Structure 1
Amino acid sequence: MQPFVYEALPTRVVFGSGTVGQLRAEAERLGVRRVLVLSTPGRGEAQAREIAALLGDLAVGVHAGAVMHTPVNVTEKALQVVEELGADAVVAVGGGSTTGLGKAIALRTDLPQIVLPTTYAGSEMTPILGETQDGVKTTQRTPKVLPEVVIYDVDLTLGLPPAIAATSGVNAMAHAVEALYARDRNPVTSLMAEDGIRSLAQALPKIVGDPQDNEARTDALYGAWLCGACLGAVGMALHHKLCHVLGGSFDLPHAETHTIVLPHAVAYNAPAAPEAMERIARALGTSDAAQGLFALAGRLGAKQALRDIGMPADGIGQAVKAAVASPYWNPRPIEEVGLRDLLTRAWNGDPPRA
C-alpha cells in the first residue's frame, strides 16, 4: 500500500427520517440566537418558511435569494440582509445553490452554518466554495466555509422530482468518481467513493420508477453523503474543471452539466487510471466505466447533450482555452485536441470515446 494522508473534516452529521425535528436543538447546541434561513425563490422559499417555524424565536427571517453558481452580487445582497437582521448563524435549506450562498456568507463573516439538503448535491460536506463573477467561476478550499452541522432528512427529498433527483444523483457520483483517481486519494476515501457510486447507481433508477420509494430515497441520500465527503477530503480533476468553466461561462444548469460531461471526462482519463476505472465499473455493475455512466444517464431519462441545455456550438473553443489556461491536476495531461474532441462529443450527445 502506498503511503497516504487522510484528514477527517469536523462536520456533525445527523441522518435519518424526521431528523429536521432536531434543528432547533442543533442550533441551540451551537449557541446561536438569531438564525437567518436561506433558500431559492418559489417552492424553496415556502419550504424555508416551514423550517423557520421549527426554529421558533431563534429565526429572524428567510432570505430566498440563492441562485446557481453563487454569483458575487447575489452574496453581497444576502450580506446586507444578514447585517440588517443581526443574524448570528445561517440555515441553508435546499441544494447546491443554497448551500453555496451559505458558504459564501460564512467566508466573509465566519458565521456558523447548518445545512438541510433537499437534493444530492454533496457540497454540504466540503470546505469548497465556487463563486461566479463576470462570467468566470473560481473555486477555493478553506475550512471557513465548511458547515458545522448537516441534517440529512430523507423526508425532505421525497418531493424532489425524479428528473432532478436523477441529475442531482449523477452530479454526486462525479465527486466520488474523481476521488478515485485524485492525486491525494487514499484508501479511506476510495472505499467511501465506491460505495457511494454503488448506492446511487442502484437507487436512482428505482426513484425514477417510483418517486415515493423511501428505501431508494434513503440509499440515494446516503450515497450522496459519501460522495460529498469524498469531494471534501481530496482534490478535483478534469471533470470538475470543465463543469466549472461551462457553468461560469454559459450559465448552464449545474447538475445537468455534470451528468452530461462525466462519462466523457472518465473516458478521457481511462487510459491513465485503470484501477479507478475498474472500481467505478464494479460499482456500476458494468464492464466499462465511461460507457456504464453514459448508459445510466440514458436509463434515467437525463439529457445527454450540452446543446440541449443551452451551450452554444461556438462555445466549445472558448471552453477548451479556459480549461487549458488554468487546469486542475489530472491523471492524464490536459491536451487541447483531446478536450476539443471530448466537448464536441458531449455537445452532440454522442457516446464517450477514450
Structure 2
Amino acid sequence: MDFALSAEQEDLAASERAWLAKHDPIAALRPTIDSGPARIPDTAVRHIVESGLIALLTGDTGGTHVDLAVLVEEHGRACSTVPLAELALATAELDKLDHPLAALAEANAGGAASVPLVLASVDGAAFAAEVRGAELRISGTAAPATALIDATGFLVAATTSNGTEVLAHVPSVNEGVGTRRLETLDLTRSWSVLELDLTVAAERWATVPTGTVSYLEDALAFYRKMDALGAAERLVAQTVEYAGQRTQFGQPIGGFQAVKHHCADMALQTEASRASLWAAAVALDGTDYGRRATAVSAAAAYAGDATSTVASIALQVHGGIGFTWEHDLHLLTRRIKVDELLNGSVSWHRRRLASA
C-alpha cells in the first residue's frame, strides 16, 4: 500500500506541535505532579474548541482518522492530558444520530459540555444492558479511561441482551454513576473507571447500527497506540541528542558502535510502528470490517511491543540520568507502558489476529 501524508495533514501536525511546544504540558504538570491527578488546563480546552479539533470527524468538518491520528500523535509526543480521540469519536457518533442526543455533538464541539466516549474492556466483562420499554437499564464497570474526572458526562457504547447496540449519555453527577480514580504508572494523565448501575431515560439513549461498538473499540485501540508512538518518537530524538552530548573516554557515546546500534534499533521500531499504524488509520476510514480488525490488531500488537522496547532502550542509553525524577524520560516511559496495556494488550491483539 502506497501512503503519504498530504501537505494539509503535515501542516496540521506542525501547527499542533507548535501550539503544544508553546504550552508545554510537562512544564505545566511539573509543579503539581506530586499533589494530585493530572487535570486538563483551561488553555488546552479553549484550544481544542477554538481550533475545531473536537468536531474533526463530524460530517460538516469532514475529517478522517488519518487527520485525527496526526493530532493524537503530537499530543502523545507532548504528554498532553487532553483525551482528544475520546472526545472526537464521541462527537462524531452523536453527530450521526437522528435523536435529541445529537444536540450533544454541538455542545461538545463548542465547549459547553465535555462528553468523552467510554467503553467496556475488550478483554473483560461487557456492560449488562437491557431495553425496558422506552428506558435502558445498564450496569457494569468500564475499561480504564483518561480524563473522566474533567468530564461533564459520558457517552457509553454498549450491546444489549438482545444484540441491539446503543449509545447512552450518562451525566457525571447522577445516581447510579460512580467514577473511581486509579493509581497508575502514568503521571501525565488521570485514569479512572466508570461504574454504572442505572436506568437511562428515553431522551438520553439511542440505538445505533450493528457494528458500531466494534468500530469504536478498534478506533480507541488504534489511538491508544498512536499516542504511544508520539511518546516513543520523542524518546528517540532525546536519546540521539543525549548520545551526541554525553562523553566517555574523551568522545561522545554516540560514537560507540553499541550505542549506534541501540539508536538505530529505536528508529527502526518507531518507523515500523508508524507504518503499521498508518495502515490501520486508512482501514478505519474504510468500510471493510475484516480488513479494519486485522489492520488495527496488527498495528496495536506491533506498536504496543515496539514502543515499549524503545522506552527500555532509551533508559539504557541514558544510564543514570534516565532514572532521575527531574528527567522527562520516566514520564514518557510511564505513558507508553500504560498505552501498551489498555484497549487491548499486545497479547490480546495477537490472539485476535491468530483467530481471524
Q: Fold match, TM over 0.5? A: no
> What is the TM-score with the length of structure 2 in the denominator?
0.28
> What is the TM-score with the length of structure 1 in the denominator?
0.28
